[in-house]
Amino acid sequence: MSKTIRIKANTAGGDISTVNLYHTSIIPANLLATDVTVGTLTGSGVLVTVDDDVTTFLTQVTDAGLCNAETSSLSSDYLEPNKRYFQVINSGSIGNTVQINYPTATDPTTSSVSQTVDFQNYASFVILGTFSYPDYTSFEGWYDTEHGGTLISTNNPLTVTRDTFTQGDKFYARFIGATPPVATFTASASPTTIDEGANIAFTLTTTELTDGTTVPYTITGITAEDISVDLITGSFVVNSNSDTFTVTTTEDLLTEGTETLLLSLDNTSGSASVQIIDTSTTPIPTYSLSATTPVDEGSVVRFTLTTTNVANNTVVPFSISGITADDLEENTVTGSFTIQSNTALVEFTVVADKKTEGEEVFALNLDNGEAFQHVFVVDSSILIGDVVINSGDLTVSSNSLGASGVLTATMTINYTVSVAPIVLGAPRAWVGGNTKCASGTNHTSNYYGFSPQEKAFSAIGSQAIGTYTYTSTVSWTYNGTCASHTSSPLTGAEAVQNSYCQTVNLGSGPASWNHNGTNFTNTTHGISLL
């Protein structure tokens, strides 16, 4: 129980401005009053309400600096007799009542009633509990808690004096009943089958519940985004034993199939389900790959991904098979497209690896399995171990050259075939040159006829194992106009043109073989101009 007391001080230091009042100890939980002035504290004092067992009171002062934060105990005067604060409560029994008979009579109530009693003016406090027959047959007693707790008294009415039943200020009336009424709960939905976008009305019907009772529920089987209210938990609020609320389902443009929405009461006493027919569809994305095929080693391969219904900046991973990372300058067999306006492009450069591998299939597959594209890679590299060039020579010759004429190149190759059968393509040569005018000036590549150009010789064809000699010639027109002098070079010892082979390529395409200098003589041949 509690009591009301007056805290006063006889004197206070001259530099004290205000004080904070505490009971028992100076901690926030024990604070009774703040910023009490000295005039109030030494005058009428401060009225506070505390528990009966509190006997110690302390102050913490604010001053001009001499006593700041100092503490001290104070004397107190009890208001005689103590005031007490009582609450009389019906312990939840429907139809039963409690009331106060004295000192202030109250009407019977099925809930609770409060009373402040000054025992100086009133000798007692009288309370009464009344049960409702036939549901209840007798009064059980007064307790200090609604359930369990300690029995205070079985007297009814109960007289409370200043010196009796002071262990608490709450009196719960309990009654012995026959068969207590049992609350019932029925949840329902209307309609029970709907299309996406339609409304659902959920109704809770109950018995034996007081108005204002909340009954929590949880919705499962869908997500919060599937209904108009972004919550899948809530509560019915029962009035007249009923409550109804409505939700609107969402047309979410997702293909999900039929869903079952289940509303379950959290007390497990009822549920209601609704079948939601999926009337919306997810736009189906499509994927298509294209690329140029076939390609030679050393070429760039471009893959184009074309899509529909795919958002910008969507990343579409892919994997490469059929070749290794070493076959690509990018040195990777994974990557991704990034979609913009439903298209994306990636490029790879195939390495001319000088290995005899035959035709390879460069396959790019989308990781989502929606598309793939194959590119055939033509092996244009040396057939290492199949054909060995033992020696070779390229000569350029001509008869009497003036400002223009015809040049003839002769290619001789000695080679050995170690693995057969094999088909060898047409050798090809790049020829170039320079000229010296009579002045001695070296004009590199100033003669159009000697600007580097590719020349093809006769095809070799199918070969068996063995050692062979190949000879073939090509001719082309020479134009000896000097780009620097805009005229033909002068005659004489300084009027010399030099022709030479830069690269020899043995064939092109699937049956090709090439060579880049090994065991091959790129000779320079002087040509006298007339």
Structure tokens at 109: 């109530």
Return the residue matching tokens 């910008």: 312
Instruction: Give the list of residues 6+ apart from residue 366 with CB closer than 8 angstroms, or none.
Output: 287, 289, 305, 316, 317, 318, 372
Residues 117 and 36: their CA atoms lie apart, in Å, by 28
Closest Cα to residue 208, out of 243, 179, 235, 181? Answer: 181
Instruction: Note the helical H segments in 125-235.
Output: none
Note the pLDDT of residue 501.
46
Element (H, E) at 38: helix 38-42
Instruction: Give the list of residues 6+ apart from residue 155 with CB closer than 8 angstroms, or none.
Output: 142
Note the pLDDT of residue 90.
93
Note the pLDDT of residue 506.
52
Residues 455 and 411: their CA atoms lie apart, in Å, by 11
| Amino acid letter, residue 341 | S
Same domain, yes or no: 391 and 497:
yes
* 3-class DSSP state of 40: helix
CA distances from 522 to 50, 129, 395, 432, 502 (A): 115, 126, 8, 11, 7
**Domain finish residue from 177, 196, 229:** 177
Note the pLDDT of residue 495.
47
Structure tokens at 510: 């699937």
Residues 178 and 401: their CA atoms lie apart, in Å, by 136
Note the pLDDT of residue 51.
79
Residues 300 and 322: their CA atoms lie apart, in Å, by 17
Closest Cα to residue 158, out of 176, 145, 177, 139? Answer: 139
Q: Kindly state the DSSP code that residue 131 receives in the 8-state scheme.
A: P
SS3 content of the chain, % helix, strand, coil (to 5): 5, 55, 45
| Amino acid letter, residue 473 | T
Instruction: Give the list of residues 6+ apart from residue 20 with CB closer than 8 angstroms, or none.
Output: 31, 33, 34, 35, 36, 59, 60
Task: Give me the CATH number covering residue 365.
Answer: 2.60.40.2030
Task: Using CB atoms within 10 Å of the CB of residue 253, give its burial: 0 to 12 exposed, 13 to 18 middle, 19+ buried.
Answer: exposed
**Domain finish residue from 259, 277, 295:** 277
Same domain, yes or no: 428 and 513:
yes
Buried/exposed 87-122: b ≥16 CB within 10 Å, e otherwise: ebbbbbbbebbbbbebbeeeeeeeeebebebebeee
Closest Cα to residue 18, out of 90, 68, 72, 92? Answer: 68
Q: Pairing between strand 31-37 and 315-321?
A: unpaired
Strand partners, 55: none
| Amino acid letter, residue 495 | A
Q: Give the angle 484-486-489 at the CA atoms, nearest 5°.
A: 80
Q: Kindly state the DSSP code that residue 39 receives in the 8-state scheme.
A: H
Check residue 351 and give left, alpha or beta (phi > 0: left; psi -120 to 50: alpha).
Answer: beta
Same domain, yes or no: 492 and 394:
yes
Task: Give pTM, 2 decimals.
Answer: 0.28
Number of compact structural domains in the chain? 5
Same domain, yes or no: 504 and 374:
no
Same domain, yes or no: 415 and 304:
no
Contact 367, 321 (CB under 8 A): no
Same domain, yes or no: 371 and 501:
no
Same domain, yes or no: 162 and 251:
no
Same domain, yes or no: 368 and 486:
no
DSSP 220-232: ESS-GGGBSSS-S
Same domain, yes or no: 225 and 96:
no
Number of H helices, E strands in the chain: 1, 42
Residues 76 and 450: their CA atoms lie apart, in Å, by 124
Residues 61 and 20: their CA atoms lie apart, in Å, by 6
Can you give the pLDDT of all 530 residues of the chain as single tens digits? 667 777 888 777 777 888 899 999 999 999 999 999 888 888 888 888 887 778 788 888 887 666 655 555 555 554 444 678 889 999 877 789 999 999 999 999 999 999 988 887 888 999 999 998 877 888 999 998 888 889 999 999 999 988 787 666 899 999 987 665 688 999 999 999 988 788 989 999 999 888 999 999 998 888 777 777 667 888 999 999 999 988 888 776 666 678 889 999 999 888 999 998 877 666 789 999 999 888 887 889 999 999 999 999 999 999 999 888 988 989 999 999 999 999 999 999 988 765 555 678 899 999 999 999 999 887 665 443 356 677 777 776 654 444 456 677 788 888 777 766 666 767 776 665 555 555 555 554 444 445 566 777 887 777 788 888 989 888 776 655 555 555 555 444 444 455 444 445 454 333 344 333 344 444 433 333 33
Instruction: Give the list of residues 6+ apart from residue 48 with CB closer than 8 angstroms, or none.
Output: 4, 5, 7, 21, 23, 32, 33
Same domain, yes or no: 272 and 145:
no
> What residues make up the domain containing 272?
184-277
Same domain, yes or no: 404 and 507:
yes
Same domain, yes or no: 32 and 111:
no
**Domain finish residue from 78, 107, 127:** 78
Task: Give me the CATH number covering residue 424.
Answer: 2.60.40
